[in-house]
Amino acid sequence: MPVATAVAPAKSKDAKTTPAKSKDTKPATMLTPAPKVREAVTPSWVGRVPQLKPGVYADGMPIHQVTYLCCKLILRPNKFWSRESFFDFGKVFREPAKQTGVKYSVAGFDAQPVSIREILFVDTEDFRLYNNAFILRRRIPYKDGFPIGDPEIVFKFRHPDMQKCAETDVRPHILGDHRVKFKCQAMPLKEKLGGIRLLFSHNVQFLRSAIGLGKDNVRDMDQLIDLLPALSVVRKTPKEEIKMVSNTIIEEVLQDIGVLDFGDGMTAKANVAIWRTRGEHRPLIGEFAYQFKFKDRNELAKPALKRAEDFFIALQYAAEEYIALNCTKTATVYRLLGNPPKSHE
């Protein structure tokens, strides 16, 4: 059967002709190309972090497993001078979030006040705790200018070797309760942007009142080892004195600025903090951080982990003017008096 073919209509003399396109005319997508995501300078760590070898502590309890993934950027403090400036940093990572498929929401945090804590570190005169990967600090939360609750003791073993970190038993000998947190911390490389290095932090937190009477003299090394037996490896002589590091009390100002959603159920609260000296309010260092909590690492979907990794890399480039490399908040406090320790960080 013959098939009818449509005949093109003849052009009318009165028909308006469409002006020819200029040679310079380009599609909108060509005029405003999407920003190119810059590549990481280190291999992806997603799916490559090894499992811990089984082991037990001296009391027969199994060694702790990593249950937190924390991403941190250490920031110069000079751009943070008000509560609003914390949220200004949130604007910096909107483009990296868009590039990597991560959702960001202020989620009502813009109406919440800042949190303030007082922090001090203690160590030997020659920084023997920190040089052996231990960190011991006390912190007190403040509200409306006054301390609230008991002072909290935080004891850490922080090291790039995950197995060594897990096998170091940080649990205290106390009558009261304590809380253990074993974290994998992702941070930029020490010397340049665009990469990731991992530190593992085996922490324990407990209230000072949980120590009990007669054991609250943290300036005596012998009593400190009775409280935290893991520190026995750093003792040199009996009755050594423990001192406040750099003779400085830190004031931490922290603001939750929103929620990051990486998909597959992986969400994290994001916050910005600055540390400054107590009294003269001298700014020392800042930090942007977000973390995920999980019971088993198998709960973490690889696509969401890859988005989290890509976002962390893209954010480093976007926040280049903010970032301070080759330091941590703790190291900054230790270096205040010009005596840098030899840490494992």
Q: What is the mean pLDDT of residues 308-322?
A: 96
Q: What is the mean pLDDT of residues 210-236?
A: 83
Confidence of residue 216 (pLDDT cuts 50, 70, 90): low
Give one DSSP letter per residue of 109-158, joined into a string. GGGSPPEEEEEEEEE-TT-HHHHTTEEEEEEEEEETTEE-S--EEEEEEE
Predicted confidence at residue 213, as pLDDT, reads 63
Confidence of residue 15 (pLDDT cuts 50, 70, 90): very low
Q: Is the dihedral of CA 188, 245, 83, 106 positive or negative?
A: positive
Predicted confidence at residue 217, as pLDDT, reads 61
Predicted confidence at residue 35, as pLDDT, reads 53
Residue with tokens 């160590």: 123
In this predicted structure, the answer to whether residue 192 has a pLDDT above a threshold of 50 is: yes
In this predicted structure, the answer to whether residue 311 has a pLDDT above a threshold of 70 is: yes
Predicted confidence at residue 3, as pLDDT, reads 36
Find, among 179, 181, 162, 218, the residue nearest to 68 by Cα: 181
Q: How far apart are CA 70 and CA 183, in angstroms?
A: 7
Give one DSSP letter per residue of 234-262, joined into a string. G--STTPBPEEGGG--EEEEEEEEEEEE-
Beta bridge partners of 271: 256, 289
Of the CA atoms within 13 Å of residue 190, those in its CB half-sphere come to 8
In this predicted structure, the answer to whether residue 12 has a pLDDT above a threshold of 50 is: no
Predicted confidence at residue 175, as pLDDT, reads 84
Beta bridge partners of 158: 201
Q: What is the mean pLDDT of residues 110-138?
A: 94
What's the chain's average pLDDT?
87
Predicted confidence at residue 51, as pLDDT, reads 93
Confidence of residue 49 (pLDDT cuts 50, 70, 90): confident
Q: Which tokens in the block code for residue 224? A: 């400190």
Q: Residue 12: helix, strand or coil by DSSP?
A: coil
Q: How far apart are CA 133 and CA 162, in angstroms?
A: 13
> pLDDT higher for 9 or 51?
51
Confidence of residue 218 (pLDDT cuts 50, 70, 90): low
Q: Which of 40-44, 161-165, 181-185 has the lowest mean pLDDT?
A: 40-44
In this predicted structure, the answer to whether residue 18 has a pLDDT above a threshold of 80 is: no
Q: What percent of the chain has pLDDT over 70?
A: 86
User: Please, are residues 75 and 324 in contact by the beta-carbon 8 Å criterion?
Assistant: yes
Give tens-digit pLDDT for 71-111: 999 999 999 999 999 999 999 989 999 999 999 999 889 89
> pLDDT higher for 238 or 231?
231
Q: How far apart are CA 109 and CA 271, in angstroms?
A: 10
User: Please, are residues 288 and 272 in contact by the beta-carbon 8 Å criterion?
Assistant: yes
Integer CA distances (angstroms), 110 to 116, 179, 255, in order: 16, 30, 9
> pLDDT higher for 339 or 126?
126
Cα torsion through 45, 47, 52, 54, rounded to 10? -170
User: Please, are residues 160 and 183 in contact by the beta-carbon 8 Å criterion?
Assistant: no
In this predicted structure, the answer to whether residue 145 has a pLDDT above a threshold of 90 is: no
